[in-house]
Structure 1
Amino acid sequence: MLDTSQGRFFVKGMRRDHPEAWTQQREAAINPHVVPLGPRVLWRTTAGGWDLLGFEYLVARSVGYDPGSAGLPLVVDAMTALGRLDLPDVELEAADERWGVHLDDPADADLFAGDALLHTDWNPSNVLITGPGTAWLVDWPWATRGAGWVDPACWIVWLVLSGHTPYEAEQWAAKVPAWSTASGRALDLFSAADARSWQRIADGRPNEWTLGLRDAAARWAGYRADKGAFA
């Protein structure tokens, strides 16, 4: 956070030679299309080998995902509002490509395809609460093009990590209208692919956070597999 003669800003920066420097461009390109769900980028500058984005500053707190949290309905509302936005003319990864690599049959990834704008990174620190009934979505580098139900499906893993059972997590996901467009098979395949994705992430960067998400994703995938076995 910077206090300047021009006001207060939240600054997000990265060295231009960083392997993930592309995330700065993604943030800048998508920002005009997600305001007012996300805070506005007010300026961008490159200097001294750095790429800096200045966002409007929010006095906010991160949402809580624990069972009974008053923030959960606000996440549903924000996700629902996101589902109403048009897909912007911005270069985005496709959900069928992103998760299809984790399927036994890549052709099954067609079930993940679509023209919805997805956030996909539902870390609770990316949902900021500024007041009663108001939630903002921040941190958009992993924005993706795909089926609208993929966002609530991504949220499930975070809910399980926060103490929900997979059943309870799916009940929250079902409050997002796009969830109803997913077939059971699509959810089964996605949960399995997402579990493999988190396993790969945890293998590459093992820490308490990634290992917890790996285990939460595996719990959801196991729940879906068991549910299918007794259907």
Structure 2
Amino acid sequence: MTRGWTAVPPVVAQEILRRAGGSKVFPAATGDHAELAVSLSGPRGPIFVKGASSPLGVRSLRYEVQANRNVNRRYAPAVLWDLEAHGWLVAGFEHCDGRPGDLSPGSPDLPLLTAALSELADQPAPDGPWLRPHARLGFDHPELHGDTLVHTDLNPANLIVTANGLRVVDWAFTTQAAPWLELAMLAPWLIGSGHTPLQAEQWLAQHPTWADTDPEVVDLFVTGNAEKWARKSQQSSAAWMRDLASWFAAWSSHRGRNV
């Protein structure tokens, strides 16, 4: 989906460069969902810029800007500025210099993530038109609902390990939901990083919000996602869809809910 710098109208590009105070543009190293995702380097230092012009892209970027302005600053990059012009919404974010997180068993990054999850579990959702569970997942249950801001996409590329600790980026799918949903959405990435489904659940169990969740509701979540990603992977050649289908299928099988 990424279209890159050349897709931005020249007048918008000029305003971005003016606000960023730089002229060197570098494509984002990872991710393919944003229409514009670049790093800009200049005398004021690097910043990260995202932009969108499609209705879905603009709506997602609005969620991200609003989330980053409300989430614990220790983890979410600051929003430096945003602008709307010629059908584009563009935002400049604090640049997080580091490496992607490692979610493999025994990784030293896992304790960093444990601390972040514990703090972010109490992040209240301010008033606003946030995504809700049904819109994010494609299915619903009363136990999915809550008043917490949930990132819902803690894949390794969105976990940046910097010299000053862990940062969490790309809040485009921020959802107002129950805090246990964050942990449930993390599980397939743990499995994809080398945990067995049992090991993933054991790691999640250290968090009270997971231990207190009704197992039948977890079954519904796992089965619903296994069915969804199995269907999506048959309709697309995208490797990440096949991966999610495989990881949710393994988790579903572990819980005795074969799809």
Q: Which residue of 1 aligns with 2:236?
A: 205
3-state SS of 2:216 partner: helix
Query: So what's the TM-score if we normalise by structure 1?
Result: 0.86
| Pairing partner for 2:62 from 21, 25, 37 | 25
Q: Which amino acid aligns with 1:63?
A: G
- Identity of matched residues, %: 33
Tell me, which stretches of 5 or more residues in structure 2 are unaligned? 1-38
Q: Which residue of 1 aligns with 2:177?
A: 146
Q: Which residue of 2 aligns with 1:4?
A: 42
CA deviation digits over 1:5-57, x for unaligned, max 9? 4332111122x235422111111122211141200010112345432211111
3-state SS of 1:34 partner: coil
- Once the two structures are superposed, the pairs formed by residues 1-231 of structure 1 within 5 Å of their partners are 1-14=39-52, 16-17=53-54, 19-36=56-73, 37-96=75-134, 98-99=136-137, 101-102=138-139, 109-131=141-163, 134-225=165-256
Cα distance in structure 1, aligned partners of 2:87 and 2:148: 35
Cα distance in structure 2, aligned partners of 1:39 and 1:176: 24
CA contact (8 A) 1:173 1:179 kept: yes
Q: Which amino acid aligns with 1:121?
A: D
Cα distance in structure 2, aligned partners of 1:35 and 1:9: 19
Q: Which residue of 1 aligns with 2:21?
A: none
Q: Which amino acid aligns with 1:176?
A: H
Q: Which amino acid aligns with 2:227?
A: R
Shift of 1:76: 1.6
3-state SS of 2:50 partner: strand
3-state SS of 1:20 partner: helix
Shift of 1:110: 1.3
Q: Cα RMSD (Å) of the superposition? A: 2.1
